[in-house]
Amino acid sequence: MHLVWLPKYRKPVLTGEVAVRVRDLIRQIAAEPKLEIISGKVARDHVHVFVGYRPNQDVSQIMQWLKGISSRVLLHLRKRFWGRHFWARGYLAVSSGNITEMVKEYIEEQEGEQIIDDSRFPIDSL
């Protein structure tokens, strides 16, 4: 499942240490319900994650975990920028079916240069 979500008002705040923290949080959160992160990228104004999940898990529940827990941990940013909410409402979820390699290539081709060489979940420098 290819998941995409963004900070409120699509503000470009996912840079530097914040981007690294968001990436690490997503990895930690995904480990708990045994989600497999196949690929991902933290851009300055959105997050792409390509995950594998069990059939008994709902996509809405997965997004609730990813956005909800990360928002609570990033409380200092939430207060500084938007009051009670860090992430925008909604998300994009696209089932990959048999095009797993195409989705991985699409995520890798998203704009920006990688600042950390981590092929499973790079971070853009822009």
Q: Which residues are annotated as catalytic? A: 106
3-state DSSP assignment of residue 74: coil
Cβ neighbours, 10 Å, residue 3: 20
CA 115 – CA 117 distance, rounded (Å)? 7
CA 85 – CA 80 distance, rounded (Å)? 10
Task: State how far the alpha carbon of 77 is from the alpha carbons of 8, 74, 89, 95, in Å.
Answer: 11, 6, 17, 31
